[in-house]
Structure 1
Amino acid sequence: MHEGGGQGINHITLSVSDLDRSLTFYTDIVGMTAIVRWDGGAYLRSDGDWVCLSLDNRTRQGPLPEYSHVAFSLAESAFREKADLLRRHGIPLWKDNRSEGNSLYFLDPDGHKLEFHSGDLASRLSALREKPYPGLQWLRDAPEGE
């Protein structure tokens, strides 16, 4: 574990304009494994890495940075300390957490979107079994531990 309770990159979320096209690209071209998809996105895996494709219906051309961000793993025990640290330093937040696990969505000095997240793909998939997203489809059987 890293100093300050961090445990490395948790996941990467990419905003996409066409979910089917992006899902095909990341599975057929990049070689990732699609685990689950729903009306608004999909989760993929490459080795131990977790990527979320999040549908953004804007018609703008080019990269869609609105929800694209890098999430860093954070031990549950360090979550409140990090939240307090962000508040003390006046670090702006860019989103409220609405998903499984504790998350803090914050901006770096250049406006890059970052997240501290306690949880992992296994806990997210478990939460989806309990409360599926609209239109959820399992694309591959995931072991209970995933």
Structure 2
Amino acid sequence: MLGGLNHLTLATGDLDRSFAFYVDLLGFRPRVKWARGAYLTQGNLWLCLSCDHPQPAKDYSHVALSISAELFPAFCAHLRQAGIEEWKTNSSEGESFYLKDPDGHQLEIHVGDLASRLDSLKTRPYEDLVWFE
């Protein structure tokens, strides 16, 4: 039986640039780095940066990272001051900042969790919503 997400690997065309983005801008903790990759952590998330030819999603696929409501405004200001632009405007529950990493992978900085999202669906359900619990 599966136990959860083990790690996330993102392809990068420039390891040093991506390493700096995730460590210096987003605050990931560097664990190890080698010629063609790096392991970083953020809370319980294990992120692998792997040298390859990135082909970021052109659809809504993205990686969402959690942040507290208290830290969200200052963190967004920090991102905007660094010249990061949003790829999408938030229209769902909780505050979100949507950005791209240096290789074009779509990320989201999000305030909230599954419980808050499910609570919001009680008042604003998606089309043809079916509850299972």
- TM-score range, shorter-chain basis? 0.5 to 0.7
- Number of the residue aligned with 1:66: 59
Q: Per chain length, whose mean CA-contact separation is higher, i.e. which structure has more relative contact order (CA < 8 Å, sep 6+)?
A: 1
Residues 115 and 83 of structure 1, relative CA distance in 2, 3 Å threshold: same
Q: Structure 1: 5+ residue runs without aligned partners?
A: 10-62, 142-146
Report Cα offsets for 1:35-71 as digits up to 9, x if no partner: xxxxxxxxxxxxxxxxxxxxxxxxxxxx964111000
- Number of the residue aligned with 1:97: 90
- What's the C-alpha RMSD, in Å, of the aligned pairs? 2.2
Stretches of 4+ aligned residues off by more than 4 angstroms: 6-9
- Number of the residue aligned with 1:112: 105
Q: Distance in 1 between matches of 2:109 and 2:57?
A: 21
- Number of the residue aligned with 1:124: 117
Identity %: 48
Report Cα offsets for 1:99-127 as digits up to 9, x if no partner: 00000000111111000001000000000
- Number of the residue aligned with 1:86: 79
TM normalised by structure 1 equals 0.52
Contact kept in structure 1, 2:57 and 2:106, CA below 8 Å: no
Matched AA of 1:130: T
Q: 1:76 aligns with which of 65, 69, 72?
A: 69
| Secondary structure at 1:75 match in 2 | coil
Q: 1:136 aligns with which of 110, 129, 133?
A: 129
> Once the 2 structures are TM-superposed, how far is the Cα of residue 134 of structure 1 from its aligned partner?
1.4
Name whichever structure is richer in strand by fraction. Answer: 1
Which structure is larger by alpha-carbon Rg, 1 or 2? 2
Superposition pairs for residues 9-48 of structure 1, below 5 Å? none
> Once the 2 structures are TM-superposed, how far is the Cα of residue 7 of structure 1 from its aligned partner?
5.4
| Secondary structure at 2:59 match in 1 | coil
